[in-house]
Amino acid sequence: MTKSLHFTALALSILLAASATAKAPSSAAVTPMTPDVVASYDEVRPDANYIKRVIMVPMRDGVKLYTVIVMKKGTSNAPILLSRTPYDAKGSTARTASQKITEILPAMDAEFVNDNYIRVYQDIRGLHHSEGEFVMTRPIIGPLNHTKVDESTDAYDTIDWLVKHVPESNGKVGVIGSSYLGFTTLMAEINPHPALKAAVPQSPMVDTWIGDDDFHNGAFRVGSLDYFVEQSTGKAESGASIPRGAGDDYSAYLEAGSVGDFARKWGIENYPSVRKVMENPAYTDFWSLQAVDKWMAARPLTVPTMLVVGQWDQEDSYGAPAVYRALEPKDKNNDMVSLVIGPWRHSGVNHYGYDLGALTFTGDTAREFRVKYLKPFFDHYLKGAPDPHTPPVLTYATGENHWDVSPKWPMGAATPLYLDADFRAGFGAPGAEGHDDYVSDPSKPVPFLPRPVNMAAGDQWKTWLVHDQRFVDGRPDVLSYQTEPLARPVHIMGAPQVNLFAATSGTDSDWVVKLIDVAPNTTPEGEDQGSKPARPGYELPVGIEIFRGRYVHSLSQPAALTPGQAENYRFSLPNVDHVFLPGHRIMVQVQSSLFPLYDRNPQTYVDNIFNAKPQDYRAATQSIYHGGARASSILLPIVSDEESKATAAAAR
């Protein structure tokens, strides 16, 4: 060995020794002044029943993404189940400090890792421990993205690396994830890697203007501001939040004024994600070219896909059914794409499905679905298991509490439930034209939950869509129309369609419509009302949605409303499988605010509501028409008794 090589080797050995000393407590004698900090601690001990690897996986542009690979010891010839997340891959694989694999991973992973699956979580680019720049729901390469990378290419490069460098793999990969992870799951299906064999997007973010997350039909969801700050500050590692205290969110947003005023008050107006929504309030190319269902519709269907959503998904109710509509025409044999609607909140499929708010179901519906349908779906495509004949459409009939299997969606035929005089509703043609009026005052907006409102509180946010609506029934600015007690069940399977004729004395207005199942005021002993405990008179929302009036004629080109002129507002409520039981009533509520979930409409037309001034917010008289040529109705997707029985029997 030459002298220079000898010194190089010696220096290397010294550096390695120093590194080892820094990473683990020294065995040398300690003194009172021995430093007490060590660089790291390996929580995976020799007796752990799993293997965990942390890899920085390279992408085609040189950026490396933090990736955690977890499997049970002894795993071999195994499929890979991948989730690409903005919510910390490290934390996703360290739920608790344990030597048992099922305790460090989320509950939904247990059945998979116990059956020879390799579980992989990865931080998307720019967040947590991954390199690169974060762009929220990064558009695919094209008109809005002139780089050479997107979440699709990152998924491709990740899968390519995994099948080549994980020796325990059988070379087959599935992708799964909910919410933002549902978005990245769909991205993996665009120009997919050949090793990608199956995908399960759950509550995916698909169109954040039409009905997911940020807007619903043009009305802005103010809670998005908190999300933008959390996700866009310091690679989402800092835990940043808007420091408005723990008071009533209703008061906090009302006192601030417009959403723009609120953003400026708290110094977040220059966050790019905040600017993107505030500078683009209409459905222009900025939003429509980001719509994932349109991306999916433009490409062939090559990956078997199971789309999952909760019936009471409080964040992303729109995306999964929208992608189903885009893909179903390509599914010639009705066996490549399926739709699942369960009785869950947002991402509830991955947790425990015994109940939701006041509602209880027959057992753990989420685990039942995962064991009976989800895992067999992956087993078939990733492990070569027998074909489980995944149902084309699987939904849970709330009200009667059982699963239904259907050949298509929607199943029901559109049947108008008319609003009528004296605040009645019914299936018969209404009488002469009339209207009911109320005054909507932006200084006293209708709350979406009883005050005080804390949208960060899980017990409020996760269950608000099933909250008893009696807390607003009877307000002078909320109109409630209801049927007589039903003589027979009414089973709906699809998305109810709003057909509302309404006018305002202002020049802009929001319209909120709720479809409600009203329980009888008395509960006979032993009668199952689907609640815990049975609650006489409970007003259960089956679907709630909002529409911003300025977009009645064009989503991309808003215009002022003509005072006193009735317009026809047509929009969809969320997709549901629900049975209104005999003795129950069907109620329709109409109002003009749902605060502070959605920003207030000033009811005076301004170019950009985000920057409305205090003087723009004015009370207006609202008129809801019924009967005659302007017969407001809700088109309910009703199935026949025979169809109802057949779908239930097919699930047994």
Euclidean distance between CA atoms 448 and 469, whole angstroms: 9
- Each residue of 388-432: pLDDT tens digit? 999 999 999 999 999 999 999 999 999 999 999 999 999 998 999
pLDDT of residue 349: 97
Q: With 90 as the cut, is the pLDDT of residue 6 above it?
A: no
pLDDT of residue 49: 96
Alpha helices, DSSP H only, in 345-450?
Answer: 365-369, 375-383
Identify whether 416 is preceded by a cis peptide bond (ω within 30 of 0). no
CA-based nearest residue to 614, from 223, 314, 285, 260: 260
Q: With 60 as the cut, is the pLDDT of residue 547 above it?
A: yes
DSSP 15-62: HHHHHHHHHS--SS---TTS----S------TT-SEEEEEEEEEPTTS
Q: Which residue has the tokens 């008071």?
A: 247
Q: With 80 as the cut, is the pLDDT of residue 297 above it?
A: yes
- Each residue of 251-286: pLDDT tens digit? 999 999 999 999 999 999 999 999 999 999 999 999
In terms of DSSP bridges, do strands 479-482 and 567-572 run parallel, antiparallel, or are they unpaired? unpaired
Euclidean distance between CA atoms 248 and 361, whole angstroms: 32
Taking only Cα atoms into account, the Rg of the chain, rounded to an integer number of angstroms, comes to 27
- Each residue of 157-173: pLDDT tens digit? 999 999 999 999 999 99
CA 261 to chain centre: 27
Element (H, E) at 122: strand 118-123
Helical axes 180-188 vs 151-165, angle rounded to 10°? 70
- Each residue of 563-574: pLDDT tens digit? 999 999 999 999
pTM of the model: 0.94
pLDDT of residue 528: 52
Percent of the chain with pLDDT over 90: 92
Confidence category of residue 18, pLDDT binned at 50, 70, 90: very low
Q: With 60 as the cut, is the pLDDT of residue 204 above it?
A: yes
Q: Which residues, listed in sequence order, are joined to residue 221 by a DSSP beta bridge?
A: 598
- Each residue of 47-104: pLDDT tens digit? 999 999 999 999 999 999 999 999 999 999 999 999 999 999 999 999 999 999 999 9
Q: With 60 as the cut, is the pLDDT of residue 20 above it?
A: no
413 DSSP 8-state letter: E
The structural domains of the chain, ordered by start, are 50-210+288-390 (3.40.50.1820), 219-280 (1.10.3020.10), 413-642 (2.60.120.260)
